[in-house]
Homo-oligomer: A and B are copies of this chain.
Amino acid sequence: MHRTKVRIVEDALDANNTIARANRDDFDRHGVTVVNFMSAPGAGKTTLLERTIASLDGVRAGVLEGDVEGSMDADRLSALHVPVTQLNTASGFGGECHLDANMVRSAIPELPLEEIDLLVIENVGNLVCPAEFRVGEDLRVMVSAVTEGEDKPLKYPLMFRACDLVVINKIDLLPHLDVSVERLEANVEAVHPGVPTMRVSARTGEGIDAWRDWLTKAATQVAAPA
């Protein structure tokens, strides 16, 4: 009896996971695959979506755009005629440095879940806290720009460990940097053995087909409409 009570209290205390499960149930009910998309500020998340989100083969995609303030990224993606919903952590959420399950829940009534197969949640640019909060996603993807240096997996291991895919962006700049993409990949492997990585340049388009294919497959393989 005592043991059961303790377990219930612990579950209830972890409010974020409780709400994340409720979000997940809502997404599952509509057959929507959800990707939590994370990176440091300026790693290229929005550009990677601009390059792909409107041209996924047979997949209708939408975006939930998380920012502390402003709607610049949402405006960029709306121009592609993709449904985009803006979520600002500065309005009502104290300027938080990450999205949590409750923030995402507050946006669910605004999401066109009936009309999409894939929802990409673009998190606040931050390599620490976003990795600590499940929001109800199926998959987690992070972007690591080579311009940030090859040591980032070792300095922010939780983020790299939390992901199902690491997209290594800005490889067009490698000739101009003192950075080895091989050492970056070795550091990713050291903190998260076996996690898939892909090298891309959102600017030149190199590797973008593989990223588009990954998003398409994620939407069609994970989703199981009720």
Chain B residues contacting A177 (CB-CB under 8 Å) are 173, 203
Q: From A179, which residue of chain B is reached at the shortest CB distance?
A: B42
Q: From A158, which residue of chain B is reached at the shortest CB distance?
A: B95
Taken together, the copies of this chain in the complex come to 2
Check A129 against B170 for contact (C-beta < 8 Å): no
* Interface presence of A112 (CB below 8 A): no
Check B126 against A97 for contact (C-beta < 8 Å): yes
Check A129 against B40 for contact (C-beta < 8 Å): no
Among A9-17, A48-56, A147-155, A214-222, the stretch in contact with B: A147-155
Chain B residues contacting A145 (CB-CB under 8 Å) are 42, 147
Check B42 against A148 for contact (C-beta < 8 Å): yes
Q: Interface 1/0s, chain A 189-222, versus B by CB < 8 A? A: 0000000000000010000000000000000000
Chain B residues contacting A148 (CB-CB under 8 Å) are 41-42
| A128-B68 contact given A145-B147, A147-B173, A203-B178, CB 8 Å threshold | yes
- The 8 A-B pairs with the shortest beta carbon distances in the complex, nearest first, are A42-B148, A97-B128, A147-B147, A40-B41, A42-B149, A41-B127, A97-B129, A40-B40
